[in-house]
Amino acid sequence: MEKDKMEKDKSTAQFGDLVINRRVHQALVDMGFEEPTPIQAKAIPLIMAGKDVLGQAQTGTGKTAAFSIPILNNLQSKKMQVQSLVITPTRELAIQVAEEISKIGRLLRVKTLPVYGGQSIDRQIRTLQRGVQVVIGTPGRLLDHLRRGTLKLKNVQMVVLDEADEMLDMGFIDDITSILEATPSDRQTLMFSATMLEDIKKLSRRYMHNPESITLSRQNLTVPKIEQVYYEAGDKDKMEVLCRLLDSIDIKQAIIFCRTKRGVDQVVVRLKARGFSAEGLHGDMTQYLRNVVMRKFKKQGLELLVATDVAARGLDVEHISHVINFDIPQDPEFYVHRIGRTGRAGREGMAITIITPKDYRQLRTIEKLTRSKLKRMKLPTMAELGEQWRGGVTERLRQVLADGDLVEYHAIVETMAKEHSAMDVAAAALKLALDLDKTAEPLGLSSSSNSELGQTGAKTGMVRLFFTIGRQEKITPPELVKIIAAEAGVEGNLIGDISIYDKFSFVEVPTDLASCILNTMNKQVIKGRRVAVQPARGRR
């Protein structure tokens, strides 16, 4: 008995307050995660206790790991049969979920398979015949495999319906019903949805056994009264954008937030390489090192503190002028916690968030739930940075001249002036004093992701977008402008020509706003229809 208890203790580890499989925990640590998000903290104990769970959660809250961790925790690694099934509305989400489960289950060597239309079904059949333990798929392709007899669900212990509301909106209710009917009646069923419409509740009553409901309370999220702005960056340009901001903004002290410990370490190394005074703070550091870093930061001997949410919890430092979200937080509560580190004791403060194209939807979620509006800012150009730098040098020169006490340098200047012009001598002195090295200037940013949208047939400076909604939904141009402006957070007067046809529409938007509108509006529900948005094809 005692031996069994010891073996069990060795096989588990703490993830926040949760006790999970040691190998799953190690994979999470390797991925840089320190503790569960709110949805994970609420859902995982219930799921691991064998309960059916009905969870209301937005994309970006960590819900994929909320069901992936229990799936892997209960996995019988020696059985090469389908033990868990995840149903998703789109192939993109199926691939994303499969990748996440594979990463978290890396040390368990879990066999996963995403199945979706558009990929060779023969290849999927061969993989299924070799044996897989977790299948993630879209309703149509899953049903296809069931009809062919290539997918066996008799040993499935857990079924997950991810983004259930979207699947119902897309008309998959009959397919979902057929798939659930093919699984054992005593299976555990989990359903995650951004909304809890009556159709979702009806589905849960039919196929779930006394489900536990989880809803994250967000009604009282309030943000401090500080300036909140965001800057756009391509996926590969975030570090360059951060450095350009640090070069252009008058920062006394700042906390830079990253989502993972690995991210903290990478940002610190790259900042130090560029000459910034920066140190990291995360859960893998010893308490002694964390204390050393915090003492240095509190005494203003450190300009930049790069930290994870967990490490920065409870920080109260008076002189923080800026908070920079290098990674947008997974949860709006984390956002509120982060930006509350600046603007303390009535002082002025600014919160800056760096946004990549895939982050726009999460940004809008944060704005809605916190009832705040982040102002879109343009990154300073190299010319503007140069002008700012020259202004700073000029001001320092004026100060030196005002202070006087230059007599001992006169003899050097007089000697050099016999061989060179006074202008060249002064410029050389400046270069020597400032140790100016032109090769150390910030690198140019790569072309914006908008340039990757291709030729869409729009006017110069605009991008034409294709919307799968038209006259048959009785949509009008003013309505479309109003919806885009509200959802994407752009001014309506910036939206250009709109052409509405029976089943689709074309909308021209400014090039620099195209990624924002594209990523925010795609899959939005308009007039009761979930709309797809994509770059239009160039006119012939």
433: confidence class by pLDDT, cuts 50, 70, 90? low
**Residue listed under structure tokens 């050099």:** 416
- pLDDT value, residue 90: 85
pLDDT at residue number 342: 83
Q: Whole-angstrom Cα distance, residue 76 to residue 133?
A: 9
Structure token pair of residue 100: 């996440």
Cα distance between residue 115 and residue 83, in whole Å: 15
Reduced to 3 states (helix: H, G, I; strand: E, B; else coil), residue 38 is helix
Whether 224 has a pLDDT exceeding 70, the answer reads no
Query: Which of 494, 117, 446, 519 has the alpha carbon at shortest distance from 535?
Result: 519
Which residue would you say has higher pLDDT here, 232 or 453?
A: 232
| pLDDT higher than threshold 70 for residue 451 | no
Name the 3-class secondary structure at 466.
strand
- CA 399/CA 369 separation, integer angstroms: 49
High-pLDDT (> 70) share of the chain, %: 87
Question: Distance of CA 265 to CAs 164, 251, 287, Å?
Answer: 37, 21, 17
530 or 425, greater pLDDT? 530
Q: What is the pLDDT of residue 492?
A: 87
pLDDT, position 58:
64
The model's pLDDT over 118-157, given as tens digits with 9 standing for 90+, comes to 888 999 999 999 999 999 999 999 999 999 999 999 999 9
Q: pLDDT band for position 345 (50/70/90)? A: low
pLDDT at position 385: 61
Identify the band that residue 223 occupies on the pLDDT scale cut at 50, 70 and 90: low
User: Residue 355 pairs with which residues in a beta bridge?
Assistant: 232
Q: Which long-range contacts (CB under 8 A, 24 or more apart) does 528-531 make?
A: 528/473, 529/169, 529/468, 529/469, 529/473, 530/166, 530/169, 530/170, 531/467, 531/468, 531/469
Give me 252's structure tokens. 């006394």
Q: How confident is the model at residue 3 (pLDDT cuts 50, 70, 90)?
A: very low
398 CB neighbour count, 10 Å cutoff: 10
The pTM of the full predicted model, rounded to 2 decimals, is 0.59
Residue type, 52: D
Residues 17 and 265: beta-carbon distance below 8 Å: no
Encode pLDDT of 45-65 as tens digits.
999 999 999 988 766 567 889
* Digit-coded pLDDT (tens) for 305-330: 999 887 666 676 778 889 999 999 87
- Asked whether the predicted pLDDT for residue 2 surpasses 50, the reply is no
Q: What is the mean pLDDT of the chain?
A: 84
Please name each of the domains of the chain with its CATH number.
13-215 (3.40.50.300), 227-376 (3.40.50.300), 407-437 (no CATH), 449-535 (3.30.70.330)
**What is the length of the chain?**
540
Question: For 446, which DSSP code?
Answer: P
Q: Are 447 and 232 spatial neighbours (Cβ–Cβ below 8 Å)?
A: no
3-class DSSP state for residue 179? helix
Q: What average pLDDT does this structure show over 357-380?
A: 84
477-487 per-residue burial string, b: 16 or more CB within 10 A, e: under 16:
eeebbebbbeb
- For residue 309, give the nearest of 286, 287, 328, 289 by alpha carbon: 328
